[in-house]
Amino acid sequence: MSIIARELFFQIFESGEIEGKLPFFMGIDIQPLVAFSRTFHPKTVIEIGIQRGETAKCILENSPWIEKYIGIDLLPGARTSLPFQQGEIPAIAGEYVKNDPRVELILKPNGSRDLSPEDLPAADLILIDGDHSYEGVLFDTLLARIIIRKGGIICWHDYGNSHVPGVTKLINELNIKEGNRICLIQPGLFGLCFQFA
């Protein structure tokens, strides 16, 4: 696994400082995401697993250059692959960003699994934070790798989180196969990883 120290990360990229409280699920892992946005000015961003939109709100508030922010999630009443994720399905997906005209929500019975690459635009920044099962992260990774623009960034959340071992397993397998292209930022809250396309 390639690891970049958080301190070095913020020497290379722009500041990740934000005003207001940290998003519940992302905590301090929001800061590298905001830093990527401030450094590379993505126009199209996709978040798989937008939940209530707390992370989306932080990114959007700090990124006037973003033109489109697509949030993907499950419809209420859907069934998650991992039983403990059942309680994460938001009653109102994206509610924190509902008034931002740049946001488009895609809510499906099986979330991202109901999508194919043709359903999504080419993206500059993709955050994978939806179905945390091995199969779910694999599906989202393959999808993201098709639609990411050259030079764009794919981020994964929850590497090393013992509650969701499938994320770690998949990223480790990809790194062994592909030569450590996915890098972990440490320390963080729940293991934010990234790869440049």
Q: Which residues bind ligand SAM (CB under 6 A)?
A: 23, 25-26, 47-51, 54-55, 72-74, 80, 85, 88-90, 110-113, 129-131, 136
Closest CB to ligand SAM: residue number: 111
Which C-beta is closer to ligand SAM: that of 23 or that of 152?
Answer: 23
Which C-beta is closer to ligand SAM: that of 90 or that of 160?
Answer: 90
Q: Minimum CB separation from ligand SAM for residue 157, in Å?
A: 7
* Residue 147: CA count within 13 A, CB half-sphere: 25
Q: Minimum CB separation from ligand SAM for residue 30, in Å?
A: 8
Secondary structure in 3-state letters for 17-73: CCCCCCCCCCHHHHHHHHHHHHHHCCCEEEEECCCCCHHHHHHHHCCCCCCEEEEEE
Q: Minimum CB separation from ligand SAM for residue 158, in Å?
A: 8
Which C-beta is closer to ligand SAM: that of 76 or that of 180?
Answer: 76
Q: Minimum CB separation from ligand SAM for residue 176, in Å?
A: 25
* Longest alpha-carbon distance in the chain: 44
Q: Minimum CB separation from ligand SAM for residue 140, in Å?
A: 7
Which C-beta is closer to ligand SAM: that of 56 or that of 183?
Answer: 56
Which C-beta is closer to ligand SAM: that of 89 or that of 174?
Answer: 89
Fill in the DSSP letter of residue 132: -
Q: What is the full DSSP assignment across 178-191?
A: HTS-SEEEES-SS-
User: In the sheet that 103-108 helps form, which strands lie side by side, from edge to edge?
Assistant: 2-5, 183-186, 192-196, 148-156, 123-128, 44-48, 68-74, 103-108
